């Protein structure tokens, strides 16, 4: 019975890691449903982009207040969880503060963790206020109705609870030093914040404090394992995917579009009689994107990396003028459809069975797609380099090239270009008539 806690801890830890690994494998499989695209070029620039955008959060700084709060939460939560390494060792070995042999360095680290914990609490509290009291417009959009809005609140509340448990655990730990030999005396200087909380527990018996300290210890570590397994179901998966997503960023200049290889081959064949076209692929490639299978794996990774912050939508001129388009909703819809396809594959032994659904019409309406001005504002604003415009253009291509479902105005323009060599309804012979008019 002496080691029952250690065995229980090891089982919970193994189960948490196993579940997390399984969820990550499913996400990886879902992402690789997409078409191949080469993002292996210019590794130095890719590394620089990742460090600047993902680690340095440079694109967050366009809005300084939320940027600073986000840095508090992000840096604080990540660095504080370094202590998880010690908790894992203590949990398996049955020790307490096993790294305290580091002496002054350990004291410095714990003190730093406590200060960061307070910053995380402040940041999360203010983020909750921005969403639920100030009700900023981009957080009140119908894009976030239902689960997405609750998801953000759940995460912030969870982080507040975990940081509170961490500080309370340290406060009781401080009281028990010198009373119970299990609690190693590391001095008051390690607890610059919880030192002021320790008085709350002074009136309790030693046994009660020991019980509370153990309860908070278990709450803290089990909470972190639960948080880890919640990430794959949450927008906060960007904590992990921000780094690979920015590494695989589109390094082309904004405004440059990809060319469909099949169309390029046809044009080359028409322009150069000596051109020998490559053999056709075994599976004909669709023009544009009807469903998630037609998007690239990077576009599918974009959908999982979305932070749902709404910066893209708040900068979108179409959305600002009341059009139906919301770049955030486009990306979220791609993720929702991808999740549905993944569940379809899970239910059919890893093979997708046609469900007569697709992105267009079932998740995204043509009206949304045609409202886009292709200005790249959404791409510029995204803090993790997601490219909603690329998804929109690919779905438009499908509507035009496979469905002939472009708007009347666009059809007229393309007909004029085909017949007259210009968007206007004038023949080339009449193009200079304006100059002769009196």
CA–CA dist 140, 132 (Å, integer): 9
Residue 38 domain flag: no
What is the CATH classification number for the domain harbouring 95? 1.20.950
Residue 418 has pLDDT above 80, yes or no: yes
Q: Could you list the residue range(s) of the whole structural domain that residue 201 is in?
A: 4-31+63-235
CA–CA dist 139, 149 (Å, integer): 8
Residue 2 has pLDDT above 60, yes or no: no
User: Are residue 269 and residue 305 in the same domain, yes or no?
Assistant: yes
Mean pLDDT value across residues 345-371: 93
User: Are residue 271 and residue 219 in the same domain, yes or no?
Assistant: no
User: Are residue 221 and residue 281 in the same domain, yes or no?
Assistant: no
Q: How many domains does the chain have?
A: 2
User: Are residue 226 and residue 281 in the same domain, yes or no?
Assistant: no
- Highest mean predicted confidence (pLDDT) among 79-83, 187-191, 319-323, 411-415: 319-323
pLDDT of residue 438: 57
Residue 281 domain flag: yes
Question: 237: burial class by Cβ within 10 Å (0-12, 13-18, 19+)?
Answer: buried
What is the CATH classification number for the domain harbouring 307? 1.10.1060
User: Which three-class secondary structure state does DSSP give residue 409?
Assistant: helix
Looking only at Cα atoms, what is the longest distance across the chain? 105
CA–CA dist 109, 335 (Å, integer): 39
Q: What percent of the chain has pLDDT over 70?
A: 99
Q: State pLDDT tens for residues 67-114.
A: 999 998 888 878 877 788 888 888 888 888 888 888 888 889 889 999
| Region of residue 406 (left: phi > 0; alpha: psi -120 to 50; beta: else) | beta
Whether 297 and 334 have beta carbons less than 8 Å apart is answered as no
Residue 1 has pLDDT above 50, yes or no: no
H-type helices in 231-274, by residue range? Answer: 238-247, 261-271
CB count in 10 Å sphere of residue 232:
17
pLDDT of residue 361: 92
The residue among 373 and 187 whose pLDDT is bigger is 373
User: Are residue 22 and residue 150 in the same domain, yes or no?
Assistant: yes
Q: Is the pTM of this model over 0.85?
A: yes
Mean pLDDT value across residues 41-65: 93
User: Are residue 76 and residue 159 in the same domain, yes or no?
Assistant: yes
- 318 Cβ partners below 8 Å, 6+ apart? 325, 371, 372, 373
Whether 130 and 136 have beta carbons less than 8 Å apart is answered as yes
Place of tokens 């948490």: 16
User: Are residue 287 and residue 216 in the same domain, yes or no?
Assistant: no
Mean pLDDT value across residues 8-34: 94
CA–CA dist 96, 101 (Å, integer): 11
Residue 103 domain flag: yes
Choose among 303, 305, 307, 311: nearest CA to 138. Answer: 311
φ, ψ of residue 116 to 5 degrees: the values are -65, -35
User: Are residue 226 and residue 270 in the same domain, yes or no?
Assistant: no
| Average pLDDT over all residues of the chain | 90
Q: State pLDDT tens for residues 266-286.
A: 888 888 888 888 887 777 778
User: Are residue 205 and residue 325 in the same domain, yes or no?
Assistant: no
User: Are residue 124 and residue 191 in the same domain, yes or no?
Assistant: yes
Residue 249 domain flag: no
pLDDT of residue 273: 82
User: Are residue 75 and residue 214 in the same domain, yes or no?
Assistant: yes
User: Are residue 396 and residue 272 in the same domain, yes or no?
Assistant: yes
Residue 177 domain flag: yes
């Amino acid at each position: 019975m002496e080691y029952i806690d250690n065995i229980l801890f090891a089982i919970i830890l193994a189960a948490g890691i196993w579940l997390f690994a399984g969820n990550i494998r499913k996400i990886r499989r879902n992402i690789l449903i997409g078409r191949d695209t080469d993002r292996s070029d210019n590794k130095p620039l890719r590394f620089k982009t990742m460090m600047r955008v993902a680690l340095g959060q440079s694109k967050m700084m366009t809005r300084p207040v939320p940027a600073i709060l986000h840095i508090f939460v992000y840096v604080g939560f990540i660095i504080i969880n370094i202590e998880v390494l010690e908790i894992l060792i203590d949990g398996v070995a049955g020790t307490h503060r096993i790294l305290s042999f580091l002496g002054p360095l350990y004291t410095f680290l714990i003190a730093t963790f406590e200060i960061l914990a307070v910053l995380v609490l402040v940041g999360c509290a203010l983020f909750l206020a921005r969403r639920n009291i100030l009700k900023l417009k981009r957080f009140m959009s119908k894009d976030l109705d239902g689960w997405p809005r609750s998801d953000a609140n759940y995460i912030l509340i969870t982080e507040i609870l975990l940081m509170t448990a961490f500080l309370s655990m340290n406060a009781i730990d401080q009281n028990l030093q010198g009373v119970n030999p299990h609690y190693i005396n590391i001095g008051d200087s390690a607890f610059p914040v919880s030192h002021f909380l320790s008085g709350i527990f002074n009136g309790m018996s030693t046994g009660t404090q020991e019980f509370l300290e153990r309860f908070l210890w278990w709450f803290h570590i089990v909470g972190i394992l639960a948080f880890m397994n919640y990430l794959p179901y949450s927008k906060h998966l960007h904590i992990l995917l921000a780094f690979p997503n920015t590494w695989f960023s589109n390094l082309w200049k904004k405004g440059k579009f990809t060319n469909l290889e099949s169309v390029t081959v046809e044009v080359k064949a028409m322009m150069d009689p000596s051109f020998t076209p490559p053999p056709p692929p075994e599976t004909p490639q669709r023009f544009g994107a009807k469903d998630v299978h037609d998007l690239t794996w990077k576009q599918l990774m974009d959908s999982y990396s979305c932070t749902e912050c709404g910066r893209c939508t708040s900068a979108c001129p179409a959305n600002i003028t009341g059009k139906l388009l919301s770049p955030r909703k486009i990306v979220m819809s791609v993720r929702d459809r991808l999740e549905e396809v993944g569940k379809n594959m899970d239910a059919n032994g890893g093979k997708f069975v046609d469900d007569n659904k697709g992105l267009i019409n079932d998740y995204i309406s043509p009206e949304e797609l045609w409202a886009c001005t292709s200005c790249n504002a959404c791409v510029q604003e995204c803090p993790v380099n997601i490219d909603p415009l690329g998804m929109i253009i690919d779905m438009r291509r499908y509507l035009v090239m496979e469905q002939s479902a472009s708007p009347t105005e666009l059809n007229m323009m393309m007909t004029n270009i085909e017949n007259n060599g210009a968007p206007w309804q004038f023949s080339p012979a009449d193009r200079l008539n304006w100059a002769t008019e009196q």
